Chain A
């Protein structure tokens, strides 16, 4: 089954304790992206990657890091989490072989992070 898998699904942690949210896709997609979803703000793009070793900042990259060492994985790293990073996070992937104007992103089911 084609899917984007995020782990963990839920996490409660404390300020300053480094954490990593993993994202893996089994569709051989070149494009991967991270978003955060907050009430009243919609989804905001954090980082995206067009392929292995290629990453770019999205709209809200501050306080986050990513890496793309393998095509299937795109972990999101919070090196020193703060309460304002409490949010619902989504990873997505897409094929760049699709018609460039229609690129359906496949989303994971989300990771709810609470930082106290």
Chain B
């Protein structure tokens, strides 16, 4: 079964808007939660990551919010730009060895 559940499957946002992608997990042994960005024809690239001992991490326009009690985490993209149009994957791992990815969200930012 899917260890990490991701939603929505696709997302359309106007330029300048906020894009929000949500993920949920069950295994409380997960200790590392990265987000990857993938452009067509390319491999995923790490965007931002968080450990469960913090509730939020911000890097530029990208923020991860982490709710340990609810076993949920989300990616917020502020001031979304057309160049952000890509597929985003959340993931979770145990001791950064074995990784479980969400099913992906296709983001389209309309100019």
Contacts and interface: CB of A to CB of B under 8 A. Distances in A.
Q: Do A and B make up one complex?
A: yes
Contacts of A56: 97-98
Contacts of A4: 43
Interface string B9-48: 0000000000000000000000110100000011111100
Interface string A94-107: 10000011111101
A101 B53 CA distance: 11
Contact of A108 (B43, B95, B96, B102): B43
Contacts of A110: 41-43
Contact of B98 (A45, A94, A101, A105): A45
B44 A58 contact: no
A28 B81 CA distance: 35
B66 interface: no
B102 A45 contact: no
A100 B101 contact: no
Nearest to B6: A42
A58 B98 contact: yes
A44 B96 contact: no
Contacts, number: 65
Chain A's interface size range is 20 to 34
A43 B42 contact: no
B89 A102 contact: no
B49 interface: yes
A48 B98 contact: yes
Nearest to A40: B103
Contacts of A104: 34, 46, 49
Interface of A: 4, 31, 33, 35, 40-45, 48, 50, 56, 58-59, 90, 92, 94, 100-105, 107-110
21 contacts: A31-B97, A33-B99, A35-B99, A35-B101, A42-B6, A42-B102, A45-B100, A56-B97, A59-B3, A59-B98, A90-B43, A90-B44, A101-B96, A102-B49, A103-B32, A103-B96, A104-B49, A105-B44, A109-B42, A110-B41, A110-B42
